[in-house]
Structure 1
Amino acid sequence: MLQYTFIQNALIAAFLIALLCPSVGTFLVLKRYSMMGDTLSHASFAGVAIGLVAGFNPILSAFIFTSICAIFIEVLRNYYKKYSELILVIVMTLCLGIAITLISTGKTSANVNSFLFGSILTVTREDLYTILILSIVCICLLVSLFNKIAYVTFDEDGAKIAGLNVKLINYIFALLVGTTIAVSMRIMGILVVSSMIAVPVATAMQLNKGFKLTFIYSLIFGLVDIMVGLFTSFYIDCAPGGTIAITSVVILIITITFSKIKCTN
Structure 2
Amino acid sequence: MLNLILEPLSFEFMREALATAILLGILCAVVGNYLIVQRMGILGDVIAHAVLPGLAIAFFLGVDIFLGAFICGTLSTFVISWIQSQSRIKVDVAMALVFSGFLALGIMLITLLKSKLDLHEFLFGDILSVTTDDVKRTIIITVFVLILVKLFYKELLFYTFDPLGAQASGLPINLIHFALNGAITLTIVASMQTVGVVLVVSLLIGPGITAYLLVKELYQMMHLGAVIGVISSVTGMYISYYLNVPSGAAIVLVVSVLFFLALFLSPTQGILTRPEIGHRRGRLLSQFKSQNPK
Question: TM-score with structure 2 length normalisation?
Answer: 0.84
> Does the CA contact (< 8 Å) of 2:127 and 2:195 recur in 1?
no
Of 159, 162, 169, 2:169 maps to 162
SS of the residue corresponding to residue 262 of structure 1 reads coil
Q: Name which of 229, 237, 244 aligns with 1:222.
A: 229
1:118 deviation in Å?
Answer: 0.9
Indicate conservation of the 8 Å contact 2:23/2:139, yes or no: yes
Structure 1 residue 80: Cα displacement? 4.7
Give, in angstroms, the shift of residue 105 of structure 1: 4.2
1:35 aligns with 2:42: yes
Residue 139 of structure 1 aligns with an amino acid whose one-letter code is L
The one-letter code matched in structure 1 to 2:57 is I
Report if aligned partners of 1:185, 1:193 keep a CA contact under 8 Å in 2: yes
CA contact (8 A) 2:209 2:259 kept: yes
Alignment CA distance shift 1:189-1:207 (3 Å): same
1:74–1:170 CA contact under 8 A, matched in 2? no
Contact 1:22 1:201 in 2 (8 A): yes
Instruction: Give the direction of change, closer, same or farther, for the CA distance of 1:200–1:155 in structure 2 (3 Å limit).
Output: same
Aligned to 2:27: 20
One-letter code aligned to 1:65: C
CA pair 81-15 structure 1, distance change in 2 beyond 3 A: farther
CA distance 1:240–1:81, shift in 2 (3 Å): farther
Aligned letter for 1:195?
S
CA distance in structure 1 between the aligned counterparts of 2:88 and 2:213, rounded to whole angstroms:
30
Whether 1:262 aligns to 2:269 is: no
Q: In the alignment, does 2:179 pair up with 1:175?
A: no
Contact 1:21-1:196 within 8 A present in 2 as well: yes
| Correspondent of 1:50 among 57, 67, 87 | 57
Q: Could you tell me how far 1:238 is from its partner in structure 2?
A: 2.3
CA drift at 1:84: 0.8
Once the two structures are superposed, residues 218-262 of structure 1 have per-residue CA deviations (whole angstroms, 9 ceiling, x without a partner) of 111111111111221122222212111111111111111112333
- Whole-angstrom CA distance in 2 between matches of 1:64 and 1:216: 29
CA RMSD of superposed structures (Å)? 1.8
Instruction: Supply the distance in 2 between the matched residues of 1:51 and 1:129 (Cα, whole angstroms).
Output: 21
Question: 194-203 vs 99-108, which deviates more?
Answer: 99-108
* Cα separation, 1, equivalents of 2:36 and 2:88: 18
Q: CA deviation at 1:110?
A: 4.1
Pairing 1:118–2:129 present: no
Structure 1 or 2, whichever has the larger Rg, is: 2
Cα–Cα, structure 1 residues 63 and 210, in superposed 2: closer, same or farther, change >3 Å?
same
Deviation at 1:214, TM superposition (A): 1.9
Alignment size in residue pairs: 265
For 1:135 and 1:71, the matched residues in 2 are separated by: 23
Matching residue within 45, 57, 67 for 1:60: 67
Once the two structures are overlaid, the 10-residue window that deviates more, 181-190 or 131-140, is 131-140
Distance 1:71 1:20, change over 3 A: farther
Identity of aligned residues (%): 27
- State the partner residue of 1:7: 14
CA distance in 1, matches of 2:138, 2:215: 33
Q: Note the C-alpha offset of 1:106.
A: 7.0
Q: Is the 1:45–1:99 Cα contact (8 Å) retained in structure 2?
A: yes
Alpha-carbon displacement from aligned partner over 1:151-179 (angstroms, at most 9, x marks no partner) = 00100111111111111110110101111
Q: Following TM superposition, by how much is the alpha carbon of 1:208 offset from its aligned partner in structure 2, in angstroms?
A: 4.1
More displaced 10-residue stretch of structure 1: 198-207 or 43-52:
43-52
Greater alpha carbon shift after TM alignment, 144-153 vs 42-51: 42-51
Give the corresponding residue for 1:148: 155
State whether structure 2 residue 78 is matched by structure 1 residue 71: yes
Does 1:236 find its partner at 2:247? no
Once the two structures are TM-superposed, the CA of residue 41 in structure 1 deviates from its matched residue by 0.5
